[in-house]
């Protein structure tokens, strides 16, 4: 069945990769990207599809109900896929307000419009809603125990989606993805930050001992999973998406430096992130039963991502100047340095 999707946050990292996947895979589908273009939104991410007649861009905020209504009716939207969010944990610690507005109130606004117009609704969520997992892997039925303002705002979004399914019988699904890496990721996130710092000859600020564990997955794999769940997922259900294996941040840094053929001396251990979740790991058997499988290990995903940043300085160099410098100074300027191998 051809679809017309409202892809909110489609000018961001994962949303843009998803738009490319949909337009490449489904010749009959149409995509309306609905994006506020915050610091993380970038129309360069969509430059390749700018002239595609199946693609439209709407510059607006998901908290603006009238704008969402207008986009839905004007373009005959049948499906909302919500990627729009404030997505960086460190920013949620210093400035949580925008997270509550977009990730909670914005999700609610989209659900209201979807309810009124009888639309299919998919929520792109995160494994962070489960909180720190000391061992084993989080399953979809596990309690949500978010521990950062970002994770709490995403968990609130998930709960609203579930409530709208139960209360109003809406056709909803949720995916909970692990750490994505790949093209177009804003260089505040650890892999693009470290890759671009290393390429610029700078240090890599590892939080604490660097033995925290994350499941770094290739963004294309994650987008294929979201696409499958939109088309074949069971209404009312949530699906974890990841490789199913987590690696330490130190292992991630080693892959990154080896790919660039750079010295471990660039590593600098700095004061930890407050409330830092030590480990995430998800059980992916539910989405595997739906017919999806991850195509990259975390190490392959990291190496492939680093190569993309090597090949695309024209994308990230302009971002790392200007407003990004202010952010960098604010987040890293006053962090105590714990230890540097090269010191």
Active site residue 128: yes
Contact 213, 276 (CB under 8 A): no
Residues between 78 and 117 with contacts to ligand NAD, criterion CB under 6 A: 83-87, 102, 106
**Residue 31's binding partner out of ligand DAU, ligand NAD, none, with CB under 5 to 8 Å set by partner kind:** none
Residue ranges of the alpha helices (H) in 136-205?
149-168, 190-199
Active site residue 150: yes
Q: Tell me the pairing of strands 247-248 and 213-214.
A: antiparallel
Single out the segment in contact with ligand NAD by CB under 6 A; choices: 65-73, 77-85, 274-282, 329-337. 77-85
Residue whose token pair is 């909110």: 8
Minimum separation from the CB atom of position 204 to ligand DAU (A) = 8
Active site residue 127: yes
Q: Is 11 in the site for ligand NAD (CB under 6 A)?
A: yes
**Looking at 65, 88, 117, 147, which residue binds ligand DAU (CB under 6 A)?**
88
Closer residue to ligand NAD, CB minimum distance, 268 or 316:
316
Outline where DSSP puts E strands in the chain. 4-8, 30-35, 55-59, 79-82, 120-126, 172-177, 180-181, 204-207, 213-214, 217-218, 237-241, 247-248, 267-270, 337-339
Compute the distance between CA of residue 60 and CA of residue 171 in angstroms, rounded to an integer. Answer: 25
The angle, 0 to 180 degrees and rounded to 10, between the axes of the packed helices 107-117 and 65-75 is 40
Burial status of residue 101 (CB atoms within 10 A of its CB: 0-12, 13-18, 19 or more): middle
**Residue 280's binding partner out of ligand NAD, ligand DAU, none, with CB under 5 to 8 Å set by partner kind:** ligand DAU
Closer residue to ligand NAD, CB minimum distance, 255 or 268:
255
Contact 158, 123 (CB under 8 A): yes
Minimum separation from the CB atom of position 55 to ligand DAU (A) = 25
**Looking at 190, 230, 247, 301, which residue binds ligand DAU (CB under 6 A)?**
190
Compute the distance between CA of residue 165 and CA of residue 131 in angstroms, rounded to an integer. Answer: 24
Binding mask 271-310 for ligand DAU (x = CB under 6 A): --x------x------------------------------
**Looking at 21, 37, 43, 310, which residue binds ligand NAD (CB under 6 A)?**
37
Q: Which of 179, 220, 215 is nearest to 88 (CA)?
A: 179
Binding mask 127-166 for ligand DAU (x = CB under 6 A): xx--------------------------------------
**Residue 40's binding partner out of ligand DAU, ligand NAD, none, with CB under 5 to 8 Å set by partner kind:** ligand NAD
Q: Is 86 in the site for ligand DAU (CB under 6 A)?
A: no
């Amino acid at each position: 069945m051809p679809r017309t999707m409202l892809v909110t946050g489609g000018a961001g990292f994962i949303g843009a990769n998803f738009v490319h996947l949909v337009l490449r895979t489904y010749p009959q589908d149409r995509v309306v990207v609905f994006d506020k273009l915050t610091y993380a939104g970038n129309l360069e991410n969509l430059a390749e599809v700018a002239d595609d007649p199946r693609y439209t861009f709407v510059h607006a905020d998901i908290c603006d109900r009238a704008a969402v209504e207008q986009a839905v009716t004007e373009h005959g939207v049948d499906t909302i896929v919500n990627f729009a969010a404030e997505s960086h944990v460190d920013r949620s610690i210093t400035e949580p307000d925008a997270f509550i507005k977009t990730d909670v109130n914005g999700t609610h606004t989209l659900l209201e419009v979807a309810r009124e117009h009888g639309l299919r609704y998919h929520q792109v969520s995160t494994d962070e809603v489960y909180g720190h997992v000391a061992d084993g892997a989080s399953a979809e039925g596990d309690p949500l125990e978010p521990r950062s303002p970002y994770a709490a705002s995403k968990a609130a979004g998930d709960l609203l989606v579930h409530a709208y399914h139960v209360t109003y019988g809406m056709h909803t699904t949720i995916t909970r993805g692990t750490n994505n890496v790949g093209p177009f990721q804003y260089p505040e996130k650890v892999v693009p930050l470290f890759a671009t710092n290393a390429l610029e000859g700078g240090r890599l600020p590892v939080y604490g001992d660097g033995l925290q564990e994350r499941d770094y997955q290739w963004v294309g794999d994650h987008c294929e999973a979201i696409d499958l769940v939109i088309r074949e997922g069971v209404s009312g259900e949530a699906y974890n998406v990841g490789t199913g294996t987590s690696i330490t941040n130190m292992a991630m840094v080693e892959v990154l430096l080896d790919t660039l053929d750079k010295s471990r001396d660039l590593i600098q251990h700095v004061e930890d992130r407050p409330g830092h979740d030590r480990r995430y790991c998800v059980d992916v058997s539910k989405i595997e039963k739906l017919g999806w499988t991850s195509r990259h290990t975390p190490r392959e995903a990291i190496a492939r991502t680093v190569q993309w940043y090597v090949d695309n300085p024209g994308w990230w160099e302009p971002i790392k100047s200007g407003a990004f410098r202010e952010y960098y100074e604010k987040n890293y300027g006053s962090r105590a340095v714990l230890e540097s191998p090269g010191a």
